[in-house]
Amino acid sequence: MRLLRVLTAAIGLAALLPRPSAAQEGRQFKDAWFWGIKGGGMLYSSPSTENSFAPSVGAEWLITRSRAGLYVSFDQAFLSTTGQFFDRDSDSTFYRNVALKNLRRFGMAAMVFPMQTAKYHPYFGIGLTLNQIGNASFTGSFASPARYQIALDSVQSKKTSFSPTFTGGLQVRMPGFSVFGQAVASPAQKNFFLYNQNGGAAINIGLEGGIRYNFGSSIDRVR
């Protein structure tokens, strides 16, 4: 996939930058401004599958202070599955299937940084993530345009959801940049397409890793 090739090329380029490396070595983890790229995957469930794996890539922004900070991220998971919603026809009620493709996530979290050393930086965070299905298309036909519009409204209400998010990870300082690995957990929302009421995990788990580069201080220095 093109996005994965871009991620691989960016990681290779960051590893080959000698001059910025010297600048980063003199910068501390605290009061810093990091930009990063990441890759990984997430476990999810839907009405048609339980505990499936979807690869993901993304970009992020981390602002640090001495003991706390702010984390912002955007990523996309590549998946293909089937969702459902409860449809009411003129003479019956039934579950209508919807073909789902890909998931976009935008998240923000408050971070804490306990037990810091010069090289190793563990962290934990709690925040909120906006989840949005990239594409949802109906399977089957409709008796009338009015029925189609009603079904479309139902789909729109289940394409997007907010979910609390819990993050834990470790950042390791390297000569030219930092590498990190983290786990992200969020409860599965019943009003979202990616929920299996008959099985599947109640919590979606994501495992991610990538690189972060220190672009300088996150506070204004007194001159």
**221 found inside a domain:** no
**223 found inside a domain:** no
Any residues with CB less than 8 A from the CB of 32 and at least 6 apart, and which?
Answer: 63, 64, 214, 215, 216, 217, 218
Task: Name the residue with higher pLDDT: 82 or 210.
Answer: 210
Q: Which tens digits make up the pLDDT trace of 48-75?
A: 888 899 999 999 999 999 889 999 999 9
Confidence of residue 216 (pLDDT cuts 50, 70, 90): confident
Looking at residue 154, what is its pLDDT? 78
**222 found inside a domain:** no
**84 found inside a domain:** yes
Instruction: Summarize the confidence of residues 84-101 as an average pLDDT.
Output: 74
Looking at residue 22, what is its pLDDT? 44
Q: Give dist(CA 158, CA 197) in Å, integer.
A: 14
Task: Name the residue with higher pLDDT: 103 or 175.
Answer: 103
Q: Does residue 23 have a pLDDT over 70? A: no
**148 found inside a domain:** yes
Task: Name the residue with higher pLDDT: 28 or 159.
Answer: 159
**192 found inside a domain:** yes
- 5-19, 77-91, 147-161, 165-179 — which one is most confidently predicted on average? 165-179
Return mean pLDDT, the chain.
84
Task: Name the residue with higher pLDDT: 198 or 127.
Answer: 127
Looking at residue 19, what is its pLDDT? 44
How many domains, in total, are found in the chain? 1
Task: Name the residue with higher pLDDT: 23 or 215.
Answer: 215
**81 found inside a domain:** yes
Structure-block tokens of residue 117: 């050393």
Range of the domain at 37: 2-216
**178 found inside a domain:** yes
> CATH number of the domain that 121 lies in?
2.40.160.20
Cβ atoms of 122 and 162 closer than 8 Å:
no
Any residues with CB less than 8 A from the CB of 162 and at least 6 apart, and which?
Answer: 128, 129, 130, 131, 189
Q: Does residue 121 have a pLDDT over 90? A: yes
Looking at residue 127, what is its pLDDT? 98
Confidence of residue 76 (pLDDT cuts 50, 70, 90): very high
Structure-block tokens of residue 183: 């786990």
Looking at residue 69, what is its pLDDT? 96
Confidence of residue 3 (pLDDT cuts 50, 70, 90): very low
Q: Give dist(CA 195, CA 83) in Å, integer.
A: 8
